[in-house]
Chains A and B, each alone.
Chain A
Amino acid sequence: MTLVLRSIEHGFGAQKVLDRVTFAVAPGEVHALLGMNGAGKSTLLHLAAGVYIPQGGTVEIDRRPVAFRSPKEAAAAGIVFLTQEVDRGLVPSLTVHENLTVGLLKDERQIGFSRRNNRLRAREMLRRFGLDWNVNRPVASLSIYEKQMLSIVRAVAGQAKYLLLDEPTASFDRKEAERFGQLIEELKRQGIGIVFVSHRMNEIFALSDRISVLRGGKLVLERKTGQTTLEEVVAAMTGGEASIRRRPYKEREGPEQFAVRGLPLDPDAPGIDLGLKPGEIVVGFGLLGSGKTRLARALFGASKPYRALIRGNERLIRGTRGAARQGLAFVPEERGKQGIWKRYDIRTHLALSFRGWIFKSREIAYARELIGAFAISPAIPSYKAGALSGGNQQKVAIAKWFARKPVLAIFDEPMKGIDVAAKETIFQMIESLADEGASILYLTSEPDDALRIADRIFVLSRRRIVAWMSSDKATAELLLSVAERGEQPSGGN
Chain B
Amino acid sequence: MIQEPFANGQSWIHQLDPQKRILFAVIISCTIAFIQNISVLALAVFFAITLVCMARLPFNNVIKRLAVVLWFLLLVWIVMPLTFEGEILYQIGPFALSHPGIELAAQMTLKSIAILLIFMALVATMTISVLGYSLSRLHVPDKLVYLLLMTYRYVFVIEDEYRRLQTAIKIRGFRSGTNLHSYKTYAYLAGMLFVRASVRAERVHQAMLCRGFNGKFYSLDDSPANNQGRKFSALMIAFIVGLVSMEFLLNGYLL
Chain A partners chain B: no
